[in-house]
Amino acid sequence: MLLIHCPYCGEARPELEFRHAGEAHVARPVGADVGDEDFEAFLFLRANPKGIVFERWRHIHGCGRFFNAARDTVSDRFLVTYKAGDKAPADIEGGRV
């Protein structure tokens, strides 16, 4: 079973306790000149690359917290997990935010 490190619980927990919650770092467009295209991108357009992705996960059957993770979609390996609100680590090879 895949073990996922929860940054709030401070330890690796079985994947059954977690739920995937979509792409991370999708910022809501702000400002007076925000158009339909900006909201289309915010609401619907996702990169879905093959390789390293930044995602939101939720430790729903544990502490209940959302956090972010960098995961390789090829190997399904979690490279790093960090608390919600923290900046994505810059040193993830090939990472895209």
Partner 1 sequence: MADMLPRDEILEGRMVEGEGVTVMPAAPASRLSLRAPEKSLASLSKALGLELPTNPKSSATVGSRAALWLGPDEWLVIEGSGAALAAACARVKAFHAAVDISHRNTGLIVSGPRCADVLNAGCPQDLSLAAFPVGAASRTVLGKAEAVLWRTARDAFRVECWRSFADYVFMLLEAAARDV
Nearer to partner 1, 13 or 95 (CB): 13
Q: Is 56 in the site for partner 1 (CB under 8 A)?
A: no
Q: Is 11 in the site for partner 1 (CB under 8 A)?
A: yes
The backbone region for 85, taken as left when phi is positive above 0, alpha when psi lies in -120 to 50, beta otherwise, is left
Closest approach of partner 1 to the CB of residue 68, in Å: 16
Question: Which residue in 9, 21, 84, 97 binds partner 1 (CB under 8 A)?
Answer: 9
CA distance 83 to 58: 11
User: Which residues in the 30-49 window bind partner 1 by CB under 8 A?
Assistant: none
Positions touching partner 1 (CB under 8 A) are 1, 8-11, 13-14, 16-17, 61-65
